[in-house]
Structure 1
Amino acid sequence: MMRRRRSFRSGILCFILALTLLSGCSPQDAESSSPSESAKPAPPAATMPVKTVAAEIHEQPSTVYYEIFVRSFYDSNGDGIGDLNGVTAKLDYLKDLGIGGIWLMPINPSPSYHGYDVTDYYGINPQYGTMQDYTNLLQEAHKRGIKVIMDLVINHSSNQHPWFKDAAADKNSPYRDWYTWSKPGETLASDGATGSNPWHPSGSDNYLGIFWEGMPDLNMDNPEVRQEMIKIGQFWLKQGVDGFRLDAAKHIYEDFKSDASNKETMKKNQAWWQAFRQGINEVNPNAYLVGEVWDSTAKIGPFLDQALDSCFNFDLSKTILSTVRSEQATDIAFNLERIYGFYNTSSKGKFIDASFLTNHDQNRVMSDLADNMYHAKMAAAILLTLPGNPFIYYGEEIGMTGMKPDERIREPMLWSDEKDAGQTTWEPFFYNKDTNIAVSKQLQDPNSLLQHYKQLITWRNDLPALHNGDIASYKLDNSSLLAYQRVTSQEKVLVVHNLSKDVQTVTLPDATFTKLALTNKYEASLRGTTLELPPYSSVILK
């Protein structure tokens, strides 16, 4: 992933960062009522001094990504299961939405519905299609300017993988040391990193599998395993894939809770991903690597040092959702400036954020926001006007709902309010029975959530400051208004969101921003330095 770099922030940011964690700025949740467009505007609020944009501008050239669970997306052959040809059939929908990249959840053969327990790292799940189908998908996506990254599960395999079956059946197997086995009489640590007992019986032995018995951990201390995983990555790059989402990236060596604070464990994780990066660079130095590292800022930094391009920003997703629920602004930009400073230092200027609202492991956005459409639209507006690569979970753009267990947050994508031959049926609807949210219905409604997403992504794709820019704080003395600057070396814009159900009026401190460039509510106005925003609206000022 190529990255333009202007300069580096001082290393002192590492110290500042330790005092300022993004997750610590989330406000308490609060209920909201419907907006009143005729509500009497609040008197103009005073402003705090505007932070001068620092000389250091770290641009983040971005792509809007779309996460796809293939099984649930679109069925091309009538068997009720989504497939690769189904994804290809919907590329024009994604292009029209403004998507520039897709993340395919696991597509390798697997005994499970989700695919995170792989039995063949070089194959395609036969329920999803063939290698030719995959190659065709890549070619058609690239014709439309859409990148494709795929889930790569390196931490563990399936217990049905031939490697593990051979290792479990024969202690002299050449694959025995590809996994971690207990020694006779050894006291087994039970503090698994994921909260459960990580050891599982196999005959008279026990093997390590921190997620569950169906996912035995691969032994990454074995040079043969390391070489094989790099070889697998190189294989898929040669097929034409543009990069990887790396599952459970921090658990390559962090197997037990006691490992979480172990510096040696962190160094081993870092060294492995640096070696993987080097292997990937041999085939495609621009391949995009984004890791699942659900941890503190300080622990994420080392993963970005000549290794991963991005790690998913779980803290930011929590902050965005708590902000829209409470309708109270937090200084998101102030925190991101410091975090990005640390990450840019860690990565030598190559870092790009990976933001999202929720993903396939979390309750869906609309359920998390209690079906509040105003809040769902505002969450999207914040996500899509912040730096980095934003990731949209399939169905999020139409307001699909879902709460755990996992199958119910991965329900079939709802395409039409009428019978659609491509509708997947592998899992019956529990939450998304209301066909009024279907894509076909929302495409006809200019005020729909889907049209809102399309508008925001268009803004982002058309405006360089939103597409590539750094972020800088901009404080307004009005807790209902969330504001921040997006900055490139060539331009600067001001983003302002009215989080509340009431009209808000504020006086800007100077005439730096004189033009109302974009708004999603026509009632918004800028007269001189007086900005008026309708309820639940967003504007871009130049």
Structure 2
Amino acid sequence: MKKIYTILSLSVAAIAFSQKPLDKIEPAFWWKGMKNPELQILVYGKDIANNEIELSDGIQIKNIQKVENPNYVFVTINTKEIGVSKFKINIKKGNKNIDSYTYELKQREANSANRSSFTSKDVMYLLMPDRFANGNPSNDNTNDTAEKSDRKNPGGRHGGDIEGIIKNLDYLKEMGVTALWNTPLLEDNEPAYSYHGYAQSDYYKIDPRYGTNEDYKRLAGELHQRDMKLIMDYVTNHWGSQSWLIKDMPSKDWIHYWKDGEKGFKRSNYRMTAQFDTNAAKIDAENCMDGWFDTTMPDMNQSNPLVVNYMAQNAIWWTEYAGLDGLRVDTYSYNDKKGIAEWTKRITDEYPNLNIVGEVWMHDQAQMSYWQKDSKISAIENYNSYLPSVMDFTLHDAIGQVFKENSGWDSGMQRVYDNFANDFLYPNINNILVFAENHDTQRFNQSYPKIEDYRLAMSLILTVRGIPQLYYGSEIGMAGDKGKGDGDIRRDFPGGWKGDSNNAFVKSGRTETQNQYFDFTKKLLNWRKSKEVIHTGKTLHYVPDNNVYVYFRYNDTERVMTIINNNPEAQVLNLKRFSEGLKSFTKGKDIISDKEISLENTLSVPAKTAWIIELNK
């Protein structure tokens, strides 16, 4: 998350209304045939609660819920009982009809409920839309958004958009990427630092500086034509201070408002262990879960059923509307854990195969595994998050140090081995996200400027269990120093803007070094696509010896041996030690160099080299 330094006034203030009593309907439309037929429609307008609401065609309202703020009414209907595709929501004053809205129940796409999702067969590519490519300069600034484009400002908007992503999908396809995760595209109308999108101001609207809702749906379609998947970055823990629902809240308990804080604000203590620590003081738990992530990010109250229902319906709406293939949930472990479990279950009940990966930024495998669905650890307290996937931050932590270190009891490649030694804690080890970096961390190529280390890290990430995630630009050697601010780890992709001197989207536009990075990445990713042994195979690994880590991925039909020599010198391996993994195999082929390798007696591995060897007789 990107920190923003302005203070939100939390008074429930009236905002500009149209002349009509009916100002907003959310969701604006829905679908027939959903597993959960109940739909709660938010009806908003000046003093709307003082009027009567009636549906046309004799349709019965199941429940009308009024709240503290008279500008809201929540209307619940049963879509299964409605035989028409369109009906009117009428606002009445006595016998007089003073406003109306035509509501539509659309037909779902075939097999929508059983859509497939991202799995360990995929390679996920994370990009920041504002920094990837500017495909439509005409939308860099709009009349209804506050912050204007300023590419010279590292923390400002640079103009990247959905059109820029679409125009460069063939680049991702060529590289071997199969799933796209972009940071949030919904409207973020903060006056500064709005480019990252995590302080969202309208949950049903793509930010116009990125494009339109239709553009987002088109992005999904373009990906699907290329057999690629779209993953939405969803934020449940907090909204933006400029959200219309925050400026004029339905009720004071819509957010966590701290009476002893400055204008309701109190920063989270970020101590996520308080969620399950049996020894934790209640005040510490409250400060973590109910504290705000930052000053312009009011913390949502998921113990309020209306809040959870609004978010669940919204996530389902985007999944259905855009044809999403999965969700990534920001700051998952900061949410009210009962509320977020209900939210997650609502979505996966509607889409049983939909994968959702949560950001659980913790540094202990037991604590991270607590959050994965059907965890034996959380079951101790009879809790289930229903979250299918979590992010492997402990592997990320190890990668941040391992390639700088010499061999030791708990240093060097031993860090990686120790991480995998705790795999037994996870209920579904193949469904965790593995990565060397992301949009919030130090750039890998900044920590390790030599391509040899990049090859070691990618050889690891792309051959171990789980779902590998790459961060945009690293495949061409992009660096960035978090110490200089988040803008430096979120640089513009070269070639994404007209006039860029270096266009790294095409081979002819890349430098020799950029092509070395790209060609290695491309070969490894495209090899991985068809390797079921990597997707779902078992792992057999050996305690690192002198900073050389050896492991096998295997199933009933295939074996792959990965050797990572993290030494500045060549190392000679006695292959008898690896007989359990080698079985009767005596040779293999390194998939990067295509070199045939003899696996009898001893093997000399060059300095700072990774070999991924397909074994054969």
2:570 corresponds to: 503
Deviation, 1:182, is: 3.2
| Separation of aligned partners in 2, 1:333 and 1:317 | 9
Deviations 1:514-533, CA, capped at 9 Å, x for gaps: 22222434677325232222
Alignment partners' CA distance in 1, 2:597 and 2:402: 24
1:220 to 291, 295, 302: 302
| Residue aligning to 1:293 | 360
Higher radius of gyration, 1 or 2: 2
**Letter matched to residue 532 of structure 1:** S
Counterpart position of 2:167: 89
Q: Any residues of structure 2 matched to 1:30-109 within 5 Å, and which? A: 61-78=120-137, 79=140, 81-109=159-187
Q: Is the 8 A contact 2:179 2:231 kept in 1?
A: yes
CA contact (8 A) 2:396 2:437 kept: yes
Does residue 1:365 correspond to 2:444, yes or no? yes
Identify the match of residue 407 of structure 1 among 465, 476, 487. 487
* Deviation per residue, 1:173-204 (Å, 9 max, x gap): x3322012234899x99673238xxxxxxxxx
Give the counterpart letter for 2:134 in structure 1.
Answer: D
> What is the Cα deviation at residue 541 of structure 1?
4.2
Alignment of 1:172-321 (within 5 A): 174-183=250-259, 192-194=268-270, 209-239=291-321, 240-253=323-336, 269=337, 271-295=338-362, 296-306=364-374, 307-321=386-400
Q: How many residues align?
A: 430
**Which aligned pairs between 1:367-386 and structure 2 lie closer than 5 A?**
367-369=446-448, 371-386=449-464
Which among 329, 335, 339 is matched to residue 418 of structure 2? 335
Opposite residue 120 of structure 1, the aligned amino acid is D
Structure 1: 5+ residue stretches without partners: 1-59, 168-173, 196-206, 254-268, 424-433
Q: 1:318 to 1:87 in 2, by over 3 A?
A: same
| Contact 1:514-1:528 at 8 Å conserved across structures | yes
In structure 2, what is the Cα distance between the partners aligned to 1:422 and 1:495? Answer: 42
Specify whether residues 412 and 447 from structure 1 end up closer, same or farther in structure 2 by C-alpha distance, changes over 3 A only.
closer
Q: Is the 8 A contact 1:398 1:439 kept in 2?
A: no
For the residue of structure 2 that corresponds to 1:448, the secondary structure is: helix
SS in 1 for 2:572: strand
Deviations 1:352-371 (A, max 9, x none): 120111111111111122x2
Give the structure with the larger strand fraction.
2
**Scaled by the length of structure 1, what TM-score is found?**
0.73
CA contact (8 A) 1:273 1:308 kept: no
Distance 1:398 1:303, change over 3 A: same
Between 1:324-333 and 1:449-458, the stretch displaced more is 324-333
Name structure 2 gaps, 5 residues minimum: 1-118, 141-157, 272-288, 375-385
- Whole-angstrom distance in 1 between the partners of 2:252 and 2:514: 59
Deviates more, 1:101-110 or 1:332-341: 332-341
Quick one: higher RCO (CA 8 Å, sep 6+), 1 or 2?
A: 1
Q: Could you say which residue in structure 2 is the equivalent of 1:42? A: none
Return the alpha-carbon distance in structure 2 between the equivalents of residues 184 and 480 of structure 1.
53
- The match for 2:380 is none
Which residue number in structure 1 is paired with residue 541 of structure 2? 473
* 2:413 aligned partner, one-letter code: T
**What value does the CA root-mean-square deviation take over the aligned residues?**
2.9
Alignment partner, residue 451 of structure 1: 519
- Measure the CA separation in 1 of the matches of 2:228 and 2:209: 24
Letter matched to residue 254 of structure 2: W
TM-score in terms of structure 2 length: 0.65
Q: Quote the offset at 1:276 in angstroms.
A: 1.9
Shift of 1:486: 1.0
* Aligned twin of 1:535: 607
Name the residue aligned to 1:460: 528
Q: Which secondary structure state, in structure 1, belongs to the residue aligned with residue 426 of structure 2?
A: helix
Q: Percent identity?
A: 30
Amino acid at match of 2:130: R
Contact 1:360 1:409 in 2 (8 A): yes
- Spell out structure 1 runs of 4+ moving beyond 6 A: 188-191, 443-447
SS at match of 1:362: coil
The 3 A distance-change label for structure 1 pair 190 and 86 is closer
